[in-house]
Homo-oligomer: A and B are copies of this chain.
Amino acid sequence: MADTPAAHLPPYARIKRHVVARIESGQWSVTSKVPSENQLAAEFGVSRMTARRALLELMQEGWLVRSQGLGTFVADRKPVLSMLEVRNIAEEIASRGHLYAAKVMRMEAVAATEAVAMYLGIPAGAKAFHSIVVHIDNGVPVQMEDRYVSPAAAPAYLAQDFTRETPNAYLTRVAPIESVEHVVEAVLPTSQVARWLQITAPEACLQINRRTWSRGHVASYARLVHPGSRYRLGGYVSLARGAHSRGHRT
């Protein structure tokens, strides 16, 4: 798709089209760096805010991945799914939650941030248990979970470990995914996460925010970063924004 003549597109849309054309033609391949806001602004003779808007929208649409201080990169995109695939994948996800082994890398009590508190249904600043869990599949780390658990709803087999802070990794089982809150695809792993997942290049990761329930209560709010598994979990089940009466995206 080449740059076709104007057709009265506003500047920000023209920049979007330009970037999409470069990506689709393969000139800018996956994970390669995209010109910065200032570079695009200069190239198109617009202000930085206009170039910025184009890049932000393309990020939301899944074309790009952005990171403060690093830059903007071409995201890894997946094809549209048929209803049949949706059904099969939903089935698999619903059934295979216990298949992985997992290592808990870190565990500590923290004060819940605004977002975490909202998901857990506790006041902001209240104590929550934070653990970092790396999921292992056939010896390969495929998924990293940044898990927050409300103290009241902590399952028994984990609660004992929360009483002491343990820097050592140990194995635990993984709860099945019961529902998906929402999915954010525009994520670059932090250096820490990249190390855990053995990522070298700036590879676009998948970020899933999910909630699990225990005895009818919200038990945990987790963010998954999940670059290398067979199914890219969240991308397939990205469906619901919002929740019953609480919970949002910020």
Contact = CB atoms under 8 A, between A and B. Distances in A.
Interface in A1-18: 1, 4, 7, 9, 13, 16-17
Contacts of A181: 80
Contacts of A114: 4, 7, 9, 17
A105 interface: no
B80 A245 contact: no
A61 B209 CA distance: 14
How many copies of the shown chain assemble into the complex?
2
Contact of A81 (B82, B84, B179, B249): B179
A61 B179 contact: no
Contacts of A84: 94
A120 B57 CA distance: 22
A217 interface: no
Contact of A61 (B63, B239, B241): B241
A178 B86 contact: no
A190 interface: no
Contacts of A155: none
Contacts of A63: 242, 248
B178 A83 contact: yes
A86 B242 CA distance: 16
A67 interface: no
B80 A4 contact: no
Contacts of A118: 1
Given A90-B87, A238-B239, A239-B237, A249 B78 contact: no
Given A61-B248, A83-B90, 11 more contacts: A4-B124, A13-B250, A16-B250, A24-B245, A24-B246, A61-B241, A63-B242, A83-B178, A83-B237, A86-B237, A238-B239
